Amino acid sequence: MSVEEDSKGRRRWKPPVDGRPQPGGRTMAKKEKVRKKTLGKSSRDWVDRQLRDPYVLRAKEAGYRARAAYKLLEIDEKFRVLRRGSRVIDLGCAPGGWLQVAFEKGAARIAGVDLLPVEPIGEAVIFMGDVSEPGMTTKLINALGEKPNLVLSDMAANTSGHKQTDHVRTVGLAEIAAQFAIDNLAKGGTFLAKVFQGGAQGELLEKLKANFDEVRHWKPPASRPESPETFVIARGFRG
């Protein structure tokens, strides 16, 4: 994947010239249309939704690896979480859409981790592994050279089909990310994480309110209306 600068010096991701999906991306290929008849109903519904989704098309045209890039762009437009020269850690960074946005917005140093492999993005340092495994925190902090100003988490558990179970699992991942942020953020830093709507995040919110000056919930337009996901934005880490 290549990068170009516009007239104002802003970095932009160049889409592939041959129409192929980007490495690690989730764009639709022509062959998938041919295979639709062999898929189960839930898979066919997913394919249909992808083909109709304007954010999927926009992501492909802009060279982003996933439509999720627009969620972060919209959150940043409203809350200004990304600042030029900042140090960013992205937990659950595959396939790399949020890393692309952080790079594009001028982050000075970026590190990410995911259980899945992620193709290189700019100068970001990417680790394959579990954020909770011994030594991973040290690797991420060392990659930045000092504490991060921003911790991102788009982690979500694999869906089981049971909404409450999925909610609890995803909140559990958000709690892991929140503890990571509280343990490692620079003073005044920001934490952003995906959670699922429901009644099991009270403890998480209390923890964030005890450590940050401002805690907000918001669902960006790029998040599908039928999705239970929302995002928690905590700013002004007290240290």
Catalytic entry in 60, 194, 207, 209: 194
Contact predicate 192/153, CB 8 Å: yes
Helices (H), the chain: 30-35, 41-52, 54-62, 68-79, 97-104, 136-144, 163-184, 202-211
Q: How far separated are the first and last CA of the chain, in Å rounded?
A: 37
Rounded Cα distance, 99 and 122, in Å: 9
Rounded Cα distance, 77 and 45, in Å: 31
Rounded Cα distance, 183 and 174, in Å: 14
Helical (H) or strand (E) element with 5 = strand 2-5
- Our answer to whether residue 139 is catalytic in this structure is no
Per DSSP, the residues of 91-155 read ES-TT-HHHHHHHHTT-SEEEEEESS-----TT-EEEES-TTSTTHHHHHHHHHSS--SEEEE--
Active site residues: 194
